[in-house]
Amino acid sequence: MKREIFSEEHELFRAAFRRFAKSHVEPKIAEWNSSGQSDKATWRAMGEAGYLGAAMPERYGGGGGDFLFQAIVIEELAWMRAHALQTSLHSDICMPYLLHYGSEAQKESFLRKAITGELLVAIAMTEPGTGSDLAGISTRAVRDGDDYVLNGQKTFISNGQNCGLVIVVVKTDPGAQPAHRGISLILVETDRPGFERGRRLDKLGLRGQDTSELFFNDCRVPTTNLLGEEGKGFRYLMTQLQQERLVIGVGSIASCRRSLADTIEYVKQRKAFGRSIASFQNTQFKLAELATEVEIGQTFVDRLLAAHVRGEDLVQEVSMAKYWTTELQKRLTSQCLQLFGGYGFMNEYPISTDYADAAVQTIYAGTSEIMKLIIARRLGLDDDA
């Protein structure tokens, strides 16, 4: 079915990016997956070619386009299985914080360099003791003259090794009631004394992605590194999560399409009992069901993309999309792997890594359970709603 949200300009951008990714990204995927990290030169190439800040304002060096340009980058990289290159985290999750809440000086020094790929940005919310319950974080930032002094630990931070700037979620007022009113966002350059990168974590899937621990030991930054206003961090996070969750939905459906396409190819050529696997009714029904669900998911995601570009409040709907598309991806990769038989379990067949990579989709950026809580609250089912 022809998708209706993209203009001719978007399609030209997609064709150009596909060519770029084929020559600059695809040849490096295997190397990143074995080293556990992407390389900075590719990020620079992405930035210089205009693929990191396509939706950022031209005055900071961006492309000045709408979010659909970035959605195209997400889809193409997901199709290619270039998960190591976490451009969506950098461009579509971190950059908007700098754009919407940053001072002019912060935009000039950080956003501009992020768009060129010179500076990679990470966001550190999760701690060893808390993930879903963000208001329960314990990393502190204490004001001391014209500085903040940070102490605490973060974990599971994407781009943790490669980043040069971290948006750190901290408590500036630990006594605040309710607790989330004591949360602020502080920018920490990674060359500040007291900042330390920990281990790059060993994971089940997304093996080329750099996911790390970060430590802050009396890490001192000037108060001008505060992002937006003190005490408003939680509100900023809740506002930006709409795009973060939509990003996951966009990538999830693109990954589903790739797994499905590869499975259809495989079952047509593999034979058992003198017939192709594709000719068994079970195979046909399974793939027909999955293809139907992928179309339903794509239609929903496309409607959300169009509404997001129009600036609508979609908290409930993006939570539905994040929950549903990622659960679909888990189910789909499991059923597709089954159709590959023993080959599906072999790492040389990408369906095996698709299966492992899908596992985290229902966990990060808010688990499926948290998505359902948000939806239920919006349905008025919570006493506190």
Ligand X SMILES: Cc1cc2nc3c(=O)[nH]c(=O)nc-3n(C[C@H](O)[C@H](O)[C@H](O)COP(=O)(O)OP(=O)(O)OC[C@H]3O[C@@H](n4cnc5c(N)ncnc54)[C@H](O)[C@@H]3O)c2cc1C
> Would you please indicate which residues are annotated as catalytic (active-site) residues?
244
**Maximal CA-CA distance, the chain:** 79
In the list 184, 190, 211, 325, the residue contacting ligand X (rule: CB under 6 A) is: 211
- Piece of the chain touching ligand X by CB under 6 A; list 3-11, 26-34, 322-330, 360-368: 360-368
Q: Is 9 in the site for ligand X (CB under 6 A)?
A: no
Q: Cα-flanking dihedrals φ and ψ of residue 273, to 5°?
A: 55, 35
Q: Tokens representing 303?
A: 């409607």
In angstroms, rounded to a whole number, what is the distance separating the alpha carbons of residues 95 and 161?
18
Measured from the CB of residue 307, what is the shortest distance to ligand X in angstroms? 25
Q: Per CB under 6 A, does 363 bind ligand X? A: yes
Distance CA 75, CA 81 (A): 10
Q: What single-letter amino acid sits at 267?
A: V
Q: Which is nearer to ligand X, 61 or 160 (CB)?
A: 160
Q: Which two three-digit tokens encode residue 251?
A: 């990538």
Beta bridge partners of 147: 144, 222
**Among positions 120, 124, 183, 260, the unique one binding ligand X when judged by CB under 6 A:** 124
Nearest to 249 by CA among 238, 239, 241, 237: 241
Q: What is the DSSP string of 192-229?
A: STTEEEEEEPP-SS-TTS-EEEEEEEEEEEEGGGEESS
Task: By CB under 6 A, name the one of 37, 91, 158, 259 that touches ligand X.
Answer: 158
Looking at 82, 336, 360, 374, which residue binds ligand X (CB under 6 A)? 360
Spatial CA neighbour of 302 closest among 369, 254, 362? 254
Question: Is residue 369 within the footprint of ligand X (CB under 6 A)?
Answer: yes
Q: Hey, what amino acid is at 110?
A: F
- Binding piece for ligand X, criterion CB under 6 A, among 21-29, 49-57, 126-134, 182-190: 126-134
Neighbours of 27 (CB within 10 A): 10
Binder to ligand X among 82, 206, 253, 301 (CB under 6 A)? 206
Residue 123 interacting with ligand X (CB under 6 A): yes
Q: Does residue 157 bind ligand X (CB under 6 A)?
A: yes
Considering only 154-162, 284-292, 327-335, 344-352, which stretch makes contact with ligand X by CB under 6 A?
154-162
Taking CB under 6 A as the criterion, the residue among 47, 63, 102, 131 binding ligand X is: 131
Positions in the binding site for ligand X (CB under 6 A): 122-126, 131-132, 156-158, 206, 211, 360, 363-364, 367, 369-370, 373
